[in-house]
Amino acid sequence: MATLCAQNKQLLYDFYEIPQSLMLNPGVKTPYKWHSGVPLLPAFSFQAGSSGITVSDLFANDGIDFTTKFRNQVVNGLNKNDEFGGSGQIELFNIGFRSTNQPRDYYSFGIYGEGFISQFWPEDLAVLAFEGNADNLNRRFSLNHIATQGEAINVFHFGINRKLNNKWTVGARAKLYSSVFEFKSANNDGYFVTTRGENNILRNTLVADVTMRTSGVQEIIDIIEEDTGTTKVDLASLLLRRSFFGGNLGIGFDIGFTHSFGRNSFFTASLLDVGFIYHTNAIKNYTLQGAASNEGVEIVLPEDLANFNTEIWQELVDDFEAQVPFDTNEDSYITLRPISLNASFRYNFGGPGPKTKNCGCGTSVVSRTENLDYVNAVGGQLFVINRVRGPQAALTGFYQRRLGNTLAFKTTYTVDKYSFSNIGLGLNLQAGPVNFYLLGDNLLGYANIPNSHYASLQFGFNIISWNGN
């Protein structure tokens, strides 16, 4: 599987005919005897978004010059909570099988690599760079607006899914993380302010407590900067080594469940990536800590940016560096995984439902036809993920329809920080043992991609042996 996304996969969540739904809830229903991703035809998905601006906002041919649009849409239009981000995932393999001795247990394991980047708009610093300090005297430009995080890791996982009875299915998944690289800057503090000085026109003051932690990044930069004939080979070798236990290691787990209320109502929930990574090698951290004021050099932004190479700039930089040292270190550190929560309620109607009487006492595994418990279904889903500036949430309403044992589809409407008009559609096709699915999110945005805040597409192949076969 490959992905670039904000990590909300509402079309795939609880779409349990697709085995990859186990990665979103280890306690989802499992109506299969075994499954395997098709070699050389892995699942693929793509998602990306920006919360505050689109490409069309800046580059539309509307007669407004770019500088005016940049000032209105970016500098004055965005705030510190607006985000540009995405994430990626590539699945090396994913296999699952039902225990012969304990048929209520379904095991799954595999390896996947994933990464994400989350960049928040530095509102105050953008205003300082665009408008300057001359017309913003006494305004404190906050360094707290600096917030970014990114990473690439390889994940080795093993999970167990157990049907306790006809009301409860639970699951858990253990994970071992091998970090390829990471960078993070968050919870910064400080400000830059310009005031009237006593001995000169302007007095510049910097108070800073800023940290950027990185691991694995400098090794990649060093190889790229060498620019030798073996750069590509060296880079591939480094990434491969750090992906398979040559980087920094961590552990984590997922948990989840499905609970039925009567014949047609189901509640599901999962908590994913509860864990951490301990960074001990290839570390390079950057710090800017201290306070300084300079009244002997007059700098007016942004006009003096054109004179960046003059001695006046170097004098200012030297003065500030002496009082606010910019340092590096190799101190080890721990990062928590971006925990995410899924929860959903589903109501089935218009069909016979499961044939097994829901007494809450059985543990038998029924056939595929009996285990696909809906013809029509409606419901809602909540998704929450922890990011640099705190939790981000999305709320989804959905409708599912199954046409025999061959075709099923799911349509969704999602509200989140990226869009209030996100309509998605997912199709799942079963042709004998071959499973194919296609999931597209924010379909209205495909009519005009440059004017869209969000895009998403997923598809994949599996080989499935169903229960009772």
pLDDT at 365: 42
pLDDT for the residue numbered 467: 72
User: What is the reported pLDDT for 87?
Assistant: 75
Q: What is the mean pLDDT of residues 135-150?
A: 88
pLDDT score, position 189: 92
For the four alpha carbons of 363, 365, 366 and 368, in that order, the dihedral sign comes to positive
pLDDT at 107: 97
DSSP state of 76: T
Give per-residue burial for 79-88: e unless 16+ CB within 10 Å, then b: ebbbbbbbbb
Q: Which of 94-108, 250-264, 284-298, 351-365 has the lowest mean pLDDT?
A: 351-365
pLDDT, residue 48, reads 58
DSSP labels for 191-204? EEEEEE-SSSSEEE
Q: Which residue has the tokens 């906050």?
A: 142
Sign of CA dihedral 27, 32, 33, 35: negative
pLDDT band per the 50, 70, 90 thresholds, residue 361: very low
Rounded mean pLDDT, 342-354? 81
Q: What is the mean pLDDT of residues 375-400?
A: 92
Provide the percentage of residues in the chain whose pLDDT is more than 70: 78
Q: What is the pLDDT of residues 414-430, one digit of tens each?
A: 998 777 878 999 999 99
User: Is 43's pLDDT higher than 90?
Assistant: no
- Nearest CA to 112 out of 94, 127, 124 is that of 94
Q: Is the pLDDT of residue 327 over 60?
A: yes
Give the pLDDT confidence score for residue 291 in this predicted structure.
Answer: 87
User: Do 5 and 422 contact (CB within 8 A), yes or no?
Assistant: no
The pLDDT score that the predictor gives to residue 453 is: 53
Is pLDDT larger for residue 43 or for residue 204?
A: 204
Q: In this predicted model, which residue has the larger pLDDT, 82 or 299?
A: 82
Of 369 and 232, the one with more pLDDT? 232
The answer to whether residues 459 and 426 touch, using CB atoms and an 8 Å cutoff, is: no
56 pLDDT more than 70: no
Tell me how far apart the alpha carbons of residues 458 and 447 are, in angstroms, rounded to a whole number. 18
- Average pLDDT on 402-412 reads 90
What pLDDT does 417 receive? 77
Q: Is the pLDDT of residue 337 over 70?
A: yes
Is 0.95 surpassed by the pTM of this model?
no
Q: CA-to-CA distance for 360 and 363, rounded, in angstroms?
A: 9
What average pLDDT score do residues 374-382 get? Answer: 93
Given a cut of 60, is residue 449 above it in pLDDT?
Answer: no
Q: Is 22 exposed, middle or buried (0-12, 13-18, 19+ CB in 10 A)?
A: buried
Highest mean pLDDT among 3-17, 31-45, 82-96, 424-438: 424-438
Among 202-206, 369-373, 392-396, the range of highest mean pLDDT: 392-396
**What are phi and psi for residue 45, nearest 5 degrees?**
-150, 155
Mean pLDDT of the 123-131 span: 84
Start-to-end CA distance of the chain, whole Å, equals 27
Distance between CA 380 and CA 401 in Å, rounded? 15
Q: In the predicted model, what is the mean pLDDT of residues 20-35?
A: 94
Return the higher-pLDDT residue of 16 and 353.
16
115 pLDDT band (50/70/90 cuts)? confident
The mean-pLDDT minimum among 96-110, 192-206, 333-347 falls in: 192-206
Q: Which of 70-74, 265-269, 376-380 has the lowest mean pLDDT?
A: 70-74
**More confident of the two residues 275 and 71:** 275
Rounded mean pLDDT of the chain?
A: 82
pLDDT of residue 366: 38
CA distance 147 to 135: 26
Report the pLDDT value the prediction gives residue 267, as an integer from 0 to 100: 97
pLDDT above 70 (res 57):
no
Q: Which residue has the tokens 């691991």?
A: 215
**Measured distance CA(251)–CA(275) in Å, rounded:** 6
| pLDDT at residue 343, rounded to an integer | 97
Structure tokens given for 326:
């910019």
Q: What is the mean pLDDT of residues 327-334?
A: 92
Closest CA to 103 of 33, 174, 35: 33
pLDDT at 6: 44
